Amino acid sequence: MRSEQWATRSAPSFPVGVETMTALSTAERLAAARLYVVTEAAHDAARVIDVVGAACAGGADVVQLRRKGDDGLATLRLAERVRELTAAAGVLFVVNDRLDVGMAVAADGVHLGQDDLPLAVARRLWPGRIVGRSTHSIGQALAAAGEGADYIGVGPVFATPTKPGRAAVGLGLLGEVAGAVRIPWFAIGGIDGTNVESVLAAGARRVAVVRAVCSAEDVAEATRALRTAVVARAAEAVA
């Protein structure tokens, strides 16, 4: 069940190509992903729903639901709604930390921090789904890849209030990861329209963002602009 406030919201208009994306395997969709949107943990449920719908309409490839401090039932109900929106748009849906919630709503995967469940445990409990890991050094990146992560996040590239107290890793780490890691990876942390080109120039071909999309006045347009920049750089790299 979901609240009437959520149920009465109009359905967003999604980009063309949903049928094509859903025909691909999950691994193929992850490999093709360029823009990964992480929801703001501080936003209320209604705002999260609005952001997810608009981000999907703007072309996000992956959406992660991140909640901190909510009880399990509230997170589950919100995840159910996000699952509906992402499934309709052909967007991969990942739940942060909460393997149980991800399993309950048939999400595409779970994202784990360095202090969360071991990758092998998550894989044993939920075989066949995406398992991602946050990394903050080349050693952690290589370890996660060696332990079987399907993808990794690398950052925070720049200082960000989303991760208070964690020092920025800087652009240099991106070049190291680009030269050593063969699984999909996403640069994350303080990335927005003003600095995304420097992130891409440093070697990233995928980016993950929080505030740049979730706090934008026009979420769909912010999503579209960031994804366009990343896709253009990726195309140049293979030209």
Query: What are the tens digits of pLDDT across the range 138-167?
Result: 999 999 999 999 999 999 999 988 777 789
Which has more pLDDT, 69 or 125?
Answer: 125
**Closest to 93 in 3D by CA, of 43, 53, 134:** 53
DSSP E strands in 14-143: the ranges are 35-38, 62-65, 92-96, 109-112, 130-135
Q: What does the domain layout of the chain look like in residue ranges?
A: 16-238
CA-CA distances (angstroms) from residue 149 to 86, 120, 122, 145?
22, 9, 10, 5
pLDDT at 82: 98
Taking 90 as the threshold, does the pLDDT of residue 19 lie above it? no
Q: Using an 8 Å Cβ cutoff, are 61 and 29 in contact? A: yes
Given pLDDT bands bounded at 50, 70 and 90, which one contains residue 26? very high
pTM here is 0.90
145 touches 183 (CB < 8 A): yes
Q: What is 16-238's CATH number, 3.40.50.300, 3.30.420.40, 3.30.70.2190, 3.20.20.70?
A: 3.20.20.70
- How deeply is 76 buried, as exposed, middle or buried, from its count of CB atoms within 10 A (0-12, 13-18, 19+)? middle
CA-CA-CA-CA torsion sign (192, 193, 197, 200): positive
Length of the chain: 239
User: 80 with 48: CB under 8 angstroms?
Assistant: no
Residue 17 in this model has a pLDDT that exceeds 90: no
Comparing C-alpha atoms, which of 121, 129, 31, 44 is closest to residue 78? 44
**Chain segment 50-78, per-residue pLDDT in tens:** 999 999 999 999 999 999 888 899 999 99
Residue type (1 letter), 229: A
Q: How confident is the model at residue 239 (pLDDT cuts 50, 70, 90)?
A: low
pLDDT at 7: 37
